[in-house]
Amino acid sequence: MNKNKKKYKIAILPGDGIGPEVMKEACKILKVLKKKFNLKIKTKKYDIGGIAIDKYGCALPKKTLKGCKKSDAILLGSIGGPKWDYLPSKNRPEISSLLPLRKYFNFFINLRPSILIPELNNLSPLKKKIVKNGFNILCIRELIGGIYFGKPSKEIKKNNKHYAIDTTIYNTYEIKRIAKIAFEEAKNRNYKVTSIDKSNVLKTSKLWRKTVIKVSKKYPKIKLSHIYFDNAVMQIIKNPKKFDVILCPNLIGDVISDECGILTGSIGMLPSASFNENGFGLYEPAGGSAPDIQGKNLANPIAQILSLSMLLKYSLKMNKVSNLINSAIKKTLIKGFRTYDISYGKKFITTKQMGNEIIKSIIQD
């Protein structure tokens, strides 16, 4: 029984492409969990992305933003697709809804777990001898600073030459607050933080490293190491198992989180969480709207369901419920159930069937 009697609201934003299909499975699972644990969680759906452009002429309608503000967390499907590719880049559904949402709520923390269980090591593109025991990496990326947001960022024409400029900028406050998250997460894992930078070249990276070292003094039990970005890309491929928590500035984290993700074998099983210091967050699959498989009942719903699990853990502090989802997914995969993306020419089940099998594993627990 749930002792936590607090009432919660989740804003559900299915979005475009496979978003609504995989979201349906996550909502089915939430319904089962609400009953099992007597959870007081209300959900309400809102439009975002391409579908919102079609209905309201803008990718992040006021009604959606208002609904998110009134909620305790946001569960998002995916955004975008070829239908809206004709729009200028600043009006594209992903750019004009996700980025403002991140900025508006100050989601500076981005967590991307990449977990390969030994039973699924054949899914990894790496050699079996490297991944035979699986791996479990948590990539922590600073999400609203660095080169993606630094000013100036513009094109300049001067002396018959055409230039473009982007600015990498970080201050110690921004670095400290994300570093603290990494050390706190490491306390619940294997007590290791690897900070990635390019401090042999970049001033911002020098400040990054110095500040991370300062923060680490408060966490004497945690082993901190530093690695240059170029070397990190190689070392992760060579031996992912030696990494635990990885801490990165925005651009570096963009690359490293995708690299760690693909080493697990499928984008359809990768969740992500973006949240702020109050624990208010947005949870979504790491992949996109997969227009190539939209409407075919082929999408893997696991990334969406794991995103729900992260939401329950980080925003609603329901660790037990979150752990149950994770173990039910693991059991379902160990039983041999596979969606198309992870079937490698063998027998596969549909999006809906995968949702149902996970529910069976939850009920059996």
The DSSP secondary-structure symbol of 38 reads T
343 binds ligand NAD (CB under 6 A): no
81 binds ligand NAD (CB under 6 A): yes
Question: Is residue 258 annotated as a catalytic residue, yes or no?
Answer: yes
Token look-up 């390969």 returns 116
Nearer to ligand NAD, 78 or 96 (CB): 78
Smallest distance from ligand NAD to CB 342, Å: 8
Nearest-CB residue for ligand NAD: 288
Question: Is residue 197 annotated as a catalytic residue, yes or no?
Answer: no
Smallest distance from ligand NAD to CB 111, Å: 15
Question: In this structure, how many other beta carbons lie within 10 angstroms of the beta carbon of residue 20?
Answer: 18
Long-range contacts of 293-296 (CB under 8 A, 24+ apart): 293/18, 293/340, 294/17, 294/18, 294/21, 294/81, 295/21
Q: Return the residue of 204, 205, 300, 307 that touches ligand NAD, per CB under 6 A.
A: 300
Closest C-alpha to 309, from 269, 337, 349: 269
* SS percent in the chain: helix, strand, coil, step 5: 45, 20, 30
Nearer to ligand NAD, 22 or 53 (CB): 22
94 binds ligand NAD (CB under 6 A): yes
Question: Is residue 341 annotated as a catalytic residue, yes or no?
Answer: no
Which residue among 230, 296, 317, 320 is the active-site one?
230
The alpha carbon of residue 348 and the mean position of all alpha carbons in its chain are separated, in whole angstroms, by 25
Report the site for ligand NAD in 200-259 (rule: CB under 6 A): none
Dihedral sign for Cα 152, 203, 109, 79, please. Answer: positive
Smallest distance from ligand NAD to CB 38, Å: 31
Q: How far is 246 from 111, CA to CA, in rounded Å? A: 10
> Which residues form the interface with ligand NAD (CB under 6 A)?
18, 22, 78-81, 94, 98, 267-268, 284-285, 287-293, 299-300, 303, 341
Catalytic residues: 148, 198, 230, 254, 258
